[in-house]
Chains A and B, each alone.
Chain A
Amino acid sequence: MRLNYPTNIKVVKVPCTGRVDTLLILKTFESGVDGVYLAGCLEGECHFLRGNLRAKKRVQYVKTLLEEVGLGSGRVEMYNMSSAQGQRFAEVAREMAEKIRALGPSPVKKRKL
């Protein structure tokens, strides 16, 4: 398909979004990233039945934590797409990159923890 998506997005492969724990997302923010999004399978089509639904709930929980911390809940999102939707993957990547760019850099960035 030779589709482009923003180069400032780093893809971390996990076997299922259900693998993504609350702490994993928080640690990513500790390392100074500006935003995190999860690209899970379409709802109802999880190979492990409920992985993406669990991830969705965890993302909601992390949103409350980030709001509490003061980073804002918008820096983390959950998206769903199938592995055949390359077009959608690129579209979401651009959408999220734009959203984070609008929010500005993470206030945690470049500050030693």
Chain B
Amino acid sequence: MIVADRKSLDEILKMLKPYKKVLLLGCNECVTVSATGGEREVGVLASELKLSRAKDGQEIEIREQTLERQCDHEYIDQIRPFVGDYEVVLSMACGAGIQYLAETYKDKTVLPAVNTTFLGVTLEQGVWSERCQGCGECVLHMTGGICPIARCAKSLLNGPCGGSSNGKCEVDKDLECGWQLIIDRLKALNQMEKYEEIIPIKDWRTSRDGGPRKRIREDLKL
């Protein structure tokens, strides 16, 4: 899922300073699961904003709404009947959702309430961890199902580097060395011959270096 962090209330209050009528939009997908921008978090942020404004004797009107998704126009269109009643839209979706809202409602100011951080997994209730950087050319078959791009701080394709010590990364003593994980896993799978293979230089054009990416399936188009 896409994982995000809520922005600090201070930052959000600064962005909202000129506005009194706010449409606060949550998203029912990834940010709900990563407990950043779902219905509950919309409620908490709305309450924080109201308390903060009330404390300073300022008015604020907030409509709380949580869409199924903010990355599909079918759902974004659901706010069309009332979006005009509000001065600003504060979105708690990931960066994709926020941008799609802004693209759809061109005359509306759309503000982000979260910092979108990574593609990851839930390690345990309340703990999320990065697993994928969407580089566009998967090498997991070579690396025991552990991604060297996302899990190695240097994204080395043939590691580890000299900064690996006792299985930890030099970037942070609590951070596991991605390549140590890969080697341990390949050993356990009895596939160390894969480690001997040199992975060639990666063509980063499939990643962000090639500009914003697009996927088309002609058979699905209407």
CB pair B51 A71 closer than 8 Å: yes
Chain B residues near A68 (CB-CB < 8 A) = 8-10, 48
Question: Would you call B43 an interface residue if the criterion is a C-beta within 8 Å of the partner chain's C-beta atoms?
Answer: yes
Among A22, A27, A107, A112, which residue has its beta carbon within 8 angstroms of that of B55?
A107
Task: Contact check, B40 vs A26: say whether CB atoms are below 8 A apart.
Answer: no
Check: B175 CB closer than 8 A to any chain A CB.
no
Tell me whether A108 and B43 are in contact in the complex, defined as CB-CB below 8 angstroms, given that A68-B9, A68-B10, A69-B9 are known contacts.
Answer: no
B44 at the A/B interface (Cβ < 8 Å)?
yes
Contact call A23/B51, Cβ cutoff below 8 A = no
Report, nearest first, the 4 A-B pairs whose CB atoms are least far apart: A26-B47, A107-B55, A68-B9, A108-B54
B contact residues around A113 at 8 Å (CB): 50-51, 53-54
Complex CA distance for A65 and B51, rounded to whole angstroms: 10
Within A91-113, the residues touching B (CB, 8 Å) are 107-108, 111-113
**Docked complex: B78-125 residues within 8 A CB-CB of A:** none
Verify if A30 is at the interface (C-beta below 8 Å from B).
Answer: yes
* Candidate in B8, B10, B44, B59 with the most chain A CB atoms within 10 angstroms: B44
Is A44 an interface residue, CB under 8 A from the partner?
no
Question: How many residues of chain B are within 8 Å of chain A by beta carbon?
Answer: 16
**Contacting residues of chain B (1-59) with chain A, CB-CB under 8 angstroms:** 8-10, 40, 43-44, 47-48, 50-55, 57, 59
Indicate whether A30 sits within 8 Å of B51 (C-beta atoms), given known contacts A68-B9, A69-B9: yes
CB contacts (< 8 Å) of B9 on chain A: these are 68-69
Bound CA–CA A112/B55 (angstroms): 10
CA distance A26 to B52 in the complex (A): 11
Contact yes or no, A70 B52, CB < 8 A: yes
Q: Which residues of chain B are near A23, meaning CB under 8 Å?
A: 40, 43-44, 47
Interface extent on A, as a size class? 10 to 19
Which residues of A, 17-60, contact B by the 8 Å Cβ criterion?
22-23, 26-27, 29-30
Residues of B close to A65: CB separation below 8 A: 44, 48
B44 x A29 contact (CB < 8 A): no
Closest to A109 in B: B54
Q: Is the CB of A111 within 8 A of B40?
A: no
Q: Is the CB of B43 within 8 A of A69?
A: no
Min CB–CB distance B53 → chain A (angstroms) = 8
Residue on B nearest A70 in the bound complex, by CB: B55
Considering only CB atoms, which chain B residue lies closest to A27 in the complex?
B47
Chain A: minimal CB distance from B222 (Å): 41
Q: How far is the CA of A108 from the CA of B48 in the complex (A)?
A: 11
Distance in Å: Cβ of A22 to nearest Cβ of chain B: 6
Complex contact B10–A71 (CB within 8 A): no
A70 to B51, CA, bound (A): 9
| A71 CB → nearest B CB, Å | 6
